[in-house]
Amino acid sequence: MAIDLTRDAISLAEGLANGEFTSVELTQACLDRIAQFDDRVGAFLYINAEGALETAAEADRRRAAGEDVHVLTGVPIALKDNIVTRGMPTTCASKILEGWLPPYDATVVERIKAAALPILGKTNLDEFAMGSSSEHSAFKLTHNPWDLDRVPGGSGGGSAAAVAAFFAPLALGSDTGGSIRQPAAVTGTVGAKPTYGNVSRYGLIAMASSMDQIGPVTRSVRDAAALQDLIGGYDFHDSTSQEALEKDLLGQVKATKVEDLKGLRVGIVKQLTGEGYAPAVSEHFEKTVQVLKDFGAEVSVVDCPAFDYAMPAYYLIMPAEVSSNLARFDGVRYGLRVEPEEGPVTVERVMEATRGAGFGHEVKRRILLGTFVLSAGQVDAYYGAAQKVRTLIQNDFDRAFEQVDVLISPTSPTTAFKLGEKESDPMAMYLNDVATVPANMSGVPGISIPNGVDDKGLPVGVQVLAPARQDALMYRVASLIEEASNDHTAEQCPAKDWKVA
């Protein structure tokens, strides 16, 4: 019997619990599908077949012995390749880390291993998570399983494509300005950025530490809640991590009924709709707003004026942090080391040669920009001003959440664009994150869920934002929208009909 890989992770976990199939069979089915079709998608940078099957056998042993297992035990997962995995290559899709084998596991990986979720492999991304299309990877292109000529979004395009193409029921991404949510939107999957601090960053290779968050990429809201339950919570190794206020997100999602929409105060962010959004994106968003109203939600428009300045402020704060975080790649400590072609081999000259050869254009652009905005003469005018804008954005969120319970917006201004279409135009690329960046600037949780497909058959996403530390509310409302709009986009990707040649 072939296992139906379009099922969501919770449904597959039920299959494991009922003895419909074993984790070894499920993991093998995912590995087979990856072997058959990943040459056309390019989701994976590394495939961990042997390790995944070993973990699967352990999961089967635990379930057979009647041990008290996690709900997701035995369900395979893919990891974005900026999350460190002991003994398994971790490259950030950069030449500078080629050949590096981490000596430790990220905290999220430790938790995944402890619960025996087979790790299928590491997924492609924009180099060091900088981009919105995954085209900045030093190693390969990832194609959108909905239309192979289009991008899967970024930076976490590999994880999103792996879930969309039914290679993996679960994946992890990282979101600094939208890299979980935007790829989710354009691949018809669910992507959640938890409240800043709710999931440990230990072992996530830093991009901009004050905004980076690891989070779930899945096919349903309940799967994302279950995965955050597993990876979230306080971690001694991350000084910014905190215990979640609300535990058992999955239980809370399950206990939510569509009647709970009645009286829910939903705010449409004025600055994140209208001009700049593709007509199909706006149409689908309006339709969802109508569904919410039909179920009795009180919908209003909320003004967040500082959001108009989120992008420029992000492109000052993020590169500043990037320039500091990436200083560790010096040709001495990790991966690549390039010696100067001629002249003396000094530390500075090895560093220069290594970085010159090891970093791609976009990474260099951001390091230079960050170094400039932090330089003595400029820091107040640029970095300081951007930090003030950040406070204004936080104030906008605070005021908004006095008026409404949650905020909604389209996740991304357009559906998936063509490969190569924006690669040479950084400004056009940056604008993909206009709706996702405000959450990172303030630390609030955000989730993107599928919101139908446009007339080209490309998925659209809708975003739900909740107050900080109210991830449970975010998941509950997202699952209500999922149910009320009766959207099954995540199971509809044409990849389901691919045949082996």
Q: Which residues bind ligand GLN (CB under 6 A)?
A: 129-132, 155, 174-179, 207, 318, 433
Q: Which residues of 64-85 are buried (b: 16+ CB within 10 A; e: fewer)?
A: eeeeebbbbbbbbbbbbbbbbb
Task: Quote the least distance from Cβ 429 to ligand GLN, whole Å.
Answer: 7
Q: Identify the active-site residue in 133, 179, 200, 241.
A: 179
| Nearer residue to ligand GLN within complex by CB, 176 or 485 | 176
Q: Identify the active-site residue in 80, 95, 122, 193.
A: 80
Task: Quote the least distance from Cβ 449 to ligand GLN, whole Å.
Answer: 18
| Nearer residue to ligand GLN within complex by CB, 53 or 311 | 311
| 500 burial type by CB count under 10 A (0-12 exposed, 13-18 middle, 19+ buried) | exposed
Tokens representing residue 473 in the block: 């509310």
| Nearer residue to ligand GLN within complex by CB, 13 or 313 | 313
Task: Quote the least distance from Cβ 440 to ligand GLN, whole Å.
Answer: 7
Q: Which residues of 326-350 are buried (b: 16+ CB within 10 A; e: fewer)?
A: beebbbeebbbbbebeeeeeeeebb
Alpha carbon distance 40, 111 (integer Å): 32
| Nearer residue to ligand GLN within complex by CB, 204 or 230 | 204
Known active-site residue 409: no
Known active-site residue 179: yes
Task: Quote the least distance from Cβ 387 to ligand GLN, whole Å.
Answer: 17
Task: Quote the least distance from Cβ 213 to ligand GLN, whole Å.
Answer: 9
| Nearer residue to ligand GLN within complex by CB, 446 or 459 | 446
Strand order in the sheet with 298-302: 44-47, 119-123, 77-80, 170-175, 213-218, 190-193, 446-453, 459-465, 406-410, 265-269, 298-302
Query: Helix crossing, 9-17 with 23-41: angle to 10°?
Result: 150
Cβ–Cβ under 8 Å, residues 127 and 362: yes
The dihedral sign for the CA sequence 192, 269, 135, 389: negative
Known active-site residue 159: no
- Beta strand pairing call for 298-302 and 265-269: parallel
Task: Quote the least distance from Cβ 365 to ligand GLN, whole Å.
Answer: 11
Q: Identify the active-site residue in 94, 132, 155, 220.
A: 155
Alpha carbon distance 479, 221 (integer Å): 6
Tokens 């689908």 sit on residue? 284
| Nearer residue to ligand GLN within complex by CB, 130 or 244 | 130
Q: Which residues are catalytic?
A: 80, 155, 179
